[in-house]
Amino acid sequence: MFENPLHEEFASWALGFAPYGGADVGEVAAIAAAVGDGDDDAFYDAWRAAADRLASEADDAEAGGHLASAREYYLHAACFYAVAYHPIYGVPVDPRLVDSFHRQITVFDAAMRLTDPPVEPVSIPYEHTTMPAYLVRARGYERETRPLLIGTNGYDATVTEMYFAFAAAAADRGYHCLFFDGPGQGKLLIDDGMPMRADWEHVVAPAVDFALGLDGVDHDRVALTGWSLGGYLAPRAASAEHRLSACIADPGFDGIWSGILSMAKLGGLPQDAIDALPDADDATLRVLMQGIEAEPHAKWGVLKRGFWVNGANNLGDWLKAVEPFALGERAADIRCPTLLTTAENDVLGKGAPALLDKLTCPKTLLEFTAAEGAGEHCEMQNRSLLNRRVFDWLDGVFGV
């Protein structure tokens, strides 16, 4: 729909969330027409205008007592605010991004308030602060003890997007779902400037502590799922957090560092220079920077998103910051049944078979294809298929 491939990728999130109340295809097509061949500012303006209109319609519907419609409008608005600011990631943080993020949370909270029964935001204690989270109870089993799915984010999503990605599906399948943003994600990044950390077990442990203190959670059936970079973060956490009863990595991969080494090799960097990474001389950094700046997705992913999320202001510091993001031999420390996914056209998922070989726990690999409409990163254009297969697997593990 969008002329700019990066804009197309960002917009695909809204389309992927359509089955769970995030958007309608016609809305996205209309925004694409408004953007045309425009730049990132045009993309932001079109999505923000649509989000503002939906939020206003939601307010009017709620004031008129049309609560079901209001909830749907609010959900669409939350999705659209989040899509709007993706191209303008980076430091210094754009005030438009901050404002849209706050609007995103406000309208999402309104949608959760109008959910039956209402979904309340919760706060998970973490070091000297708290992590924002939501607890969605299993639909029809709200007051019963049920299995719990904990959801962790990746490199560029925020907490509300996990509702569309898997939390709504989890509730429909009889699972309570607690999903949160940690350091380097959502509020902790945008408002607090807290960078991401590689040792995600120290992030998930307090989430599990919190979860086990909730009413209605079956302590013997607590699963962790992570999508995108969460496909590394979730297994990393499971390698040390042995209170987990299952782990899902969508897609399964070893982490950021192996991808950096592969990128350097494909870029023609000499082997001795690759072996020296993350330490790099000026000549090596120039070669890497040329490759990054030549590819729009890499330029956005490293220079705008990566520097910001990892708390770096130059390529050398970023390389040092992401080197620890590697699962490596810790894969053998995962004890719980673990599910890895791989999608046909997803570069990150290409490492799933190698990671599967490293696992010594009960393990499963799910493969998704372009012919199924699920061949892209995180099966974004067919999340409902992904959720059916993942929850069927989890039902079998937990005996649901």
Are 83 and 100 in contact by the 8 Å Cβ rule? The answer is no
Amino acid letter, 1 = M
Q: Rounded distance, CA 62 to CA 71, Å?
A: 8
| Number of neighbouring beta carbons within 10 Å of residue 329 | 9
| Number of neighbouring beta carbons within 10 Å of residue 370 | 12
Amino acid letter, 110 = A
**Cβ partners under 8 Å of residue 82, min gap 6:** 13, 100, 101, 104, 157, 158, 160, 161
SS3 for 308-336, per residue?
Answer: HHCCCCCHHHHHHHHCCCECHHHHHHCCC
Residue 314 CB burial class (10 angstroms; 0-12, 13-18, ≥19):
exposed
DSSP string, 61-120: HHHTT-HHHHHHHHHHHHHHHHHHTGGG-SSSPPHHHHHHHHHHHHHHHHHHHTSSS---
Q: Rounded distance, CA 24 to CA 45, Å?
A: 19
Are 259 and 348 in contact by the 8 Å Cβ rule? The answer is yes
Question: Is 100 assigned a catalytic role?
Answer: no
The catalytic residue among 56, 100, 123, 228 is 228
Q: Which two tokens stand for residue 300?
A: 């956005």
Catalytic residue numbers, as ranges: 228
